[in-house]
Amino acid sequence: MAQDIPLNERIILALDVENGEQAREVVRKTEAKLGFYKVGLQLFMADWFKTVDWIIDRGHKVMLDLKFFDIPETVKLAVAQIRSHGVSLATIHGNDAIIKAAIPERGDVKLLAVTVLTSFGEDDLRAMGMTQSIEDLVHFRAKRALELGCDGVVCSGMEAQRLRDGLGDRLIMVTPGIRPGANVMDKSDDQTRIMTAQKAIIAGANHVVVGRPITKAADPLAVITGMQDEIEKALG
């Protein structure tokens, strides 16, 4: 399955911008190299499905990253709403009742359960009174999500190898917190569990999510090309 993904869909570009006009500008600048974009809560609140539909109409794929977390009936109705827009991937929280409500309404949308946000570190878990490691928690939640019918998960690259080894190839793994090699040790980063694109793919990720390292770059296409070269090497 992993080998069938086109190179221009391996990187999912996060359109974490203020409005649709800015998002469309980013897409136009990068679509010669990319074919997959993430619309998150910030952009979706700015113009709802307008940018989502525009991206799909241009022949690209969309990951709608709204992390649905509500009472099951509300999540069920929300998933039914996105089904008709041609979204490829959508995120929900990995709660049993939420997953069970969402699965029957997904249609052709692939549902990804959020395991542990990449901004979380071990200290954050300790502060919440949890004694297990992040890796153990991610594995538990991913295994349960797959058992309940989710198509895949969102996890950091640090957990990817264990999930791939333990849960097999049918699990779609999307990995955020991806940085160019020179920036992986940047202490000012708001993400905690970060990794290069090459290492994430080697570990078993199907797609990597990248935002600011591309959108804020002086030459976005050069950054994309560099990351795609890393990914090709990882795929062998």
Which residues are known catalytic residues?
A: 67
Q: Say if CB 82 and CB 53 are below 8 A apart.
A: no
Side chain identity, residue 148: L
CB 221 within 8 A of CB 32: yes
> Which sign does the torsion angle of CA 187, 190, 196, 201 carry?
positive
DSSP 15-54: ---SSHHHHHHHHHHHTTT--EEEEEHHHHHHHTTHHHHH
- Our separate counts of H helices and E strands in the chain read 11, 8
Quick check: 48 and 81 in contact, CB under 8 A? Answer: no
At 41, which amino acid appears? L
DSSP 109: P
Q: Hey, what amino acid is at 89? A: L
CA-to-CA distance for 176 and 208, rounded, in angstroms? 6
d(CA 149, CA 129): 29
Dihedral angle, C-alpha 179, 117, 234, 90, nearest 10 °: -110
Q: Which residues pair with 68 in a beta bridge?
A: 92
